[in-house]
Every structure is written in C-alpha cells, then in structure tokens.
C-alpha cells in the first residue's frame, strides 16, 4: 500500500485528513534464539517489512485506533483509560494502549487525543515481531507528536513492559531492541543481560537472507513459550544453589557440564543446554562474521536449528520441513527457524543466484509434506521506527 493510499484510508475511516505517516520495521534474528530472557546474546536486525501508521491530532481526550489488517471496528478509549482491552476483537489495541499508559505513568505529557490508522505488511503470525513493531511504532508516534524527551532505549524497555505486563507474554527484550534500535545494513550484537550492544555490518557478499514463512498461525501468548521461560527459571534456581549467577547466559559449556548434576532432570538439562550453547554459538557467529567466514556462520545457524528442535523442542513439523529442505539446496550456507517457534518463519542464507531455486524447491517439498503453501520474502535490513 503506497503512502497516498494510507492517507486516503485514514480519511475514509475518520472523515478528516491525516497529518503524519510513520513506519516501524519487523525483525529477524540471525542467531541467538530463546537466549534473550536467559540473559544471553542475540544477533537481530530490523527488516523492510513492518507497520505503518497515519496520525491525526484530536481536540478532545479520545484515542481512536483502526487497523487495516483486522476485521473490526474503530477501537476508542480516553487517554486516561488504563485498563487492557478484554474483548477478543479489541485485544490487538493493547500493544498500542500499553505504550500510552506507561508513558503517561512515567509523567510524560500526552494531553489530547488522536486518531491512528494502522496497516502492516508483516505476514500475520509469521514470527517477524509484529507486536514489537507495533509497540515501537506507537512509541515513536507519541515521542514525535508530543515532543517527549525520552531516550530510545527507555522506549524499548517500555515496549517490553507493554508486552510483559499489559499483554501478558513473558518475552525478553530482543524484539523491541531490534526494532527500536534498527540500523540499515547492520545487525545488532546485543548482550541481553547488560544491554551492551554494538552494530555489526551484515556483509553477506554474494549471499542474501530469504525469509520462509510457514503460513501456520501462531499466538505465542497461548503457546508453550511461557512454559519454556518457567523451565529455564527452575533450572537457574537449581544451578544457583552452587553457582553465583543471575542468568543462564553467564555460564559456558564447561560450567554447564560440571554442574549439570544439580539439574538431574531430562527436560531441564535439554532446556539449559540450549540456552548455554546457543549463547556461545551467537558469540562465535559474530566472530565468524567479522572474520568473513560465512561458511562457519552457516554451520552455526544450522546447529541453532538442531538445538531448537531437539533440546528446546519449539520447532514443529512446519519449521523443521523448511529448514531441512533448505539445507539440501545448492548455494545454501545455513537455515533455521526464527522467533518463538511452533509456527512462524525460518530464514535461509543463500547465494543470490540460487534464491529463486531455493524458493521453488523448498516450496514443493513443503507443499507435499505439510499440505499447503509456504511463502517466501527477501529481507532488506533497514533503520528503526521513523516518520516518513
């Protein structure tokens, strides 16, 4: 949908002209999955698929939200309303509302209402972080339109708070950080324990990243995601009886091996092994990237998927089919599921001249095995949220 169409849709919806247009990206994570809430490292980047919003000020205290993606009515509430929306057809508005509530609670002056027409081209349920895209979009709109003096990382933290406390998903900070701090042609090497980060050029030479969507809908909040968080919390508690640590991300493979007797439980062993090894894989992957060793990067990406499949058990038939089919194709360095799992998307790093072949061949295998089509997207790495 082009910019003029978005302004037209705003006018059709609210009966007045819109003022400003904003964009907020989605994200992919090159490597480092389910490590963020375990205090490990991640290596994400912002992508050119994302969420748009047309903003218009109002002279009363009402906020009116309309989504061009959802089948529903305008969601309306006052700027002082702090209760999450409970009705199923209105719950999508909580990702916006939470940001407004928490910014006002922090003492920021948001003193009049507004209309917002929202449209996203992130495939729904594809695990490309549409929720973080929305939270950071709302943060940027409010920061710009109300001239809020807030640091971008503080805005990122409010995005995570919205996800955790207002929506109810115990996610780590990676998604909001990747979206909110995105930088063109760079991935972000982030320590989720300390929030220390550095930008690293994602220099893939003759290769590109292809996003492979399962087209299977998922809702992380209703899935086993919170179970994994709880299992890792229990493992940490057991390890803390002998180790002075605050997160699983603080231990390496040798320490895990030495103290695994404290866990003494098959499930907890597997979950912890993933958290520890995936963190180390992420650190190694950034070193391989810096050294220009793309083949090693690819092998580490493959190993990440194997660990997510067998140790963390969050992949499922659809994601396994995509990754395993991609491994067999010419010109593919690596492929793995990304995001929370159980559905959503995978990525493949493939030679540019083999990308179309990959889409065709993996698409055929997927259709035969799963019974419906996967979708494929080329990812451009872009800046974080901004006014257009």
Counting the structural domains of the chain, the total is: 2
Q: Are residues 150 and 71 in the same domain?
A: yes
Q: Are residues 181 and 241 in the same domain?
A: no
Q: Which of 201, 234, 249 is the last residue of a domain?
A: 201
Q: Are residues 178 and 246 in the same domain?
A: no
Q: Are residues 278 and 213 in the same domain?
A: yes
314, 308 Cβ separation under 8 angstroms: yes
The CATH number of the domain holding residue 164 is 3.30.230.10
Is residue 11 domain-resident?
yes
Q: Are residues 172 and 284 in the same domain?
A: no
Q: Are residues 193 and 216 in the same domain?
A: no
Q: Are residues 21 and 7 in the same domain?
A: yes
DSSP 219: -
Q: Are residues 251 and 370 in the same domain?
A: yes
Is residue 384 domain-resident?
no
Of the candidates 8, 144, 175, 293, the residue annotated as catalytic is 175
Report pLDDT for 220: 52
Grouped pLDDT means (10 residues each) for the chain, 388 residues: 92 94 95 92 93 95 92 89 86 91 94 95 77 94 95 94 88 88 94 92 89 78 77 97 96 96 96 97 94 94 98 94 98 94 91 97 97 91 94
d(CA 179, CA 190): 13
Is residue 124 domain-resident?
yes
Is residue 265 domain-resident?
yes
Could you list the residue range(s) of the whole structural domain that residue 162 is in?
Answer: 3-201
d(CA 321, CA 370): 8
Q: Which of 157, 180, 201 is the last residue of a domain?
A: 201
Q: Are residues 257 and 143 in the same domain?
A: no
The CATH number of the domain holding residue 249 is 3.30.70.890
Q: Which of 201, 218, 244 is the last residue of a domain?
A: 201
Q: Are residues 215 and 189 in the same domain?
A: no
Report pLDDT for 221: 47
312, 350 Cβ separation under 8 angstroms: no
Report pLDDT for 131: 87
291, 53 Cβ separation under 8 angstroms: no
d(CA 90, CA 72): 8
DSSP labels, 107-127: T----S-EEEEEEE-SPTTSS
In sequence order, what are the residues at sequence separation of 6 or more whose Cβ sits closer than 8 angstroms to the Cβ of residue 147?
A: none
Let me know if 175 is a catalytic residue.
Answer: yes
Report pLDDT for 342: 83
Q: Are residues 179 and 314 in the same domain?
A: no
């Amino acid at each position: 949908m082009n910019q003029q169409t978005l302004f037209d849709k705003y006018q059709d919806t609210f009966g007045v002209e819109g003022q400003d247009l904003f964009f907020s990206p989605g994200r992919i994570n090159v490597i480092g999955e389910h490590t963020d809430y375990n205090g490990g490292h991640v290596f994400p980047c912002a992508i050119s698929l994302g969420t748009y919003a047309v903003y218009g000020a109002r002279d009363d205290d009402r906020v009116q939200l309309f989504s061009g993606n959802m089948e529903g009515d305008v969601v309306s509430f006052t700027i002082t309303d702090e209760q999450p929306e409970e009705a199923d057809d209105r719950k999508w508005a909580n990702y916006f509302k939470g940001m407004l509530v928490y910014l006002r609670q922090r003492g920021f002056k948001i003193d009049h209402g507004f209309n917002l027409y929202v449209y996203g081209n992130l495939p729904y349920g594809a695990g490309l972080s549409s929720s973080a895209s929305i939270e950071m979009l709302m943060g940027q709109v409010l920061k710009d339109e109300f001239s809020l003096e807030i640091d971008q990382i503080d805005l990122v933290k409010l995005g995570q708070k919205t996800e955790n406390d207002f929506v109810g998903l115990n996610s780590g900070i990676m998604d909001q950080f990747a979206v909110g701090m995105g930088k063109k042609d760079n991935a972000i090497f982030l320590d989720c324990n300390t929030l220390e980060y550095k930008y690293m050029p994602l220099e893939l030479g003759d290769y590109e990243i292809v996003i492979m969507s399962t087209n299977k809908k998922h809702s992380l909040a209703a899935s086993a995601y919170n179970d994994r968080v709880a299992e890792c919390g229990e493992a940490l508690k057991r390890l803390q009886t002998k180790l002075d640590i605050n997160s699983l991300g603080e231990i390496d493979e040798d320490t895990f091996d030495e103290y695994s007797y404290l866990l003494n439980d098959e499930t907890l062993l597997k979950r912890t092994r993933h958290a520890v090894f995936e963190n180390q894989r992420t650190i190694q992957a950034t070193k391989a990237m810096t050294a220009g060793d793309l083949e090693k990067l690819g092998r580490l990406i493959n190993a990440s998927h194997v660990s997510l499949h067998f140790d963390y058990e969050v992949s499922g038939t659809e994601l396994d089919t995509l990754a395993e089919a991609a491994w067999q194709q010419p010109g593919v360095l690596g492929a793995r599921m990304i995001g929370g799992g159980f559905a959503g998307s995978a990525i493949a790093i493939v030679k540019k001249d083999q990308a179309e072949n990959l889409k065709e061949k993996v698409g055929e295998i997927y259709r035969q095995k799963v019974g419906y089509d996967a979708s494929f997207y080329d990812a451009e790495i872009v800046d974080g949220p901004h006014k257009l």
